[in-house]
Amino acid sequence: MPAVLFYSPNDSPTEWERRLRDFIPDLDMRVWPDIGDPNDIEFALVWKLPPGNYEKLQNLRCICSLGQGVDHIFTEAKLPPQVHIMRLVDPWMAQAMSEWILLQVLRFHRQVPEYEDLERQFKWKVLPPPETSECAVGILGLGELGRDAARKISALGFKVAGWSRTEKEVEGVECFYGEKQLEAFLNRTKILCCLLPLTPKTTGIINSKTISQLPRGSYIVNAGRGQHVVDTCLLRALDTGHLAGAALDVFNEEPLPSQHPYWAHPKVSVWPHVSAQSNADSAAEQVADAIGKVFSGRVPNNLVSREQQY
C-alpha cells in the first residue's frame, strides 16, 4: 500500500494514526521528517509543511489540509501541478468556530469590556441595556464556517448580514457580494467578524479604508487569517476611538511576538489560534475516505480551486 505523510506542529500524529487505523487497518503513515522512501508517499495530511518538501514527493497525488484553510499550501513555490488539494469540512470544527464567534459577539454586545473596566475600578455602575434586534453583526465570508456562524447568531435575534465574493443566499441573513456591495455591508455593521479564506484578493482586506466604512464605535472579530488585517490600520483605529475593540485569534506572525502592541492594548483580546482546532475523532473518517479514493485512482471530496485558492 502507498504511504501517507503526516505533519502538523499542533496535532498529535499518534492520535491521528490511531483514529485513521479504525478505517484503514494497514495504514502506512510516515511522520515528517522520518518519511523513509519519499517515492512511497501518495497522500499528504499536513499543516504548514516546511517549504521545499512537496517537490521531493514525486508520486504525491493529494494534499489534505489539517484545517479549513489551505492558504499555507499555496505559499509553496514549487507546488506539484498534478496534485489534488483538499480541505477538511468538519461539522465539529464549524460548531467550534461558531461558538468562538458567538462568544466574541456576545462579549462586545453585552458590554463585557466596559463592565470589566468598572470592576477594576471598584465602581458599581449600570450601563444602558443593549438591544439585540438593533445590533448589526456582519460576517465576512459565507463559506461553510461563515454560514454556520451567521445562522447561529441570527437565531439569537441579532441583525445579521454576510458578504462574499460571489452571490449567495443564507436563510435569515441579508447577503451582500462583490466589491460594489462591500461598502454598504460595512456601513451597516457594528460587529465585523472575518471568516474569509486567505487569497491574494482578500489579503489586507481589513485596512484603513474598510475600517473607516464601519460606524464609529464598531468592533472587529478575526478568526480568518492574520494577513486579512493590516495591523497598523487596526491599531490606529482603536487608538483614535473609531473602533471600540477587537478580538483576534489569528495574526500575521504566529506565535504573536511578546513585544507586539496587541498584547498590552486595552481594547484587544488576544487568543492563540484556538477558535476551531482540527479533531481526529470527528474528521478521521472523511480523511480515510479521501485516502482510499486517492489510492484507488479516484477523486476525493472537498477539493479546492487552484485558481481561486479556496
DSSP letter at 87 equals: -
**The pairing of beta strand 29-31 with beta strand 62-65:** unpaired
Which one-letter DSSP state was computed for residue 127? P
| Cα(194)–Cα(248) distance, integer angstroms | 10
Q: Which residues on adjacent β-strands are paired with residue 160?
A: 137
Question: Mind telling me the catalytic residues?
Answer: 225, 273
Closest CA to 225 of 242, 249, 207, 256: 249
> Would you say 243 and 214 are in contact if contact means Cβ atoms under 8 Å apart?
yes
Is 3 strand, coil or helix?
strand
Residue linked to cell 465570508 = 141
Contacting residues for 95 by C-beta, under 8 A, at least 6 apart: 148
| C-alpha torsion 221→225→226→229, nearest 10 | -60
Give the dihedral of Cα atoms 282, 33, 254, 46; nearest 10 deg: -30
Report the alpha-carbon distance of residue 65 to residue 43 in Å, rounded.
11
- Residues 43-64 as b/e (b if ≥16 CB within 10 A, e otherwise) read bbbbbbbeeebbeebeebbbbb
DSSP state of 128: P
DSSP symbol at 98 = H
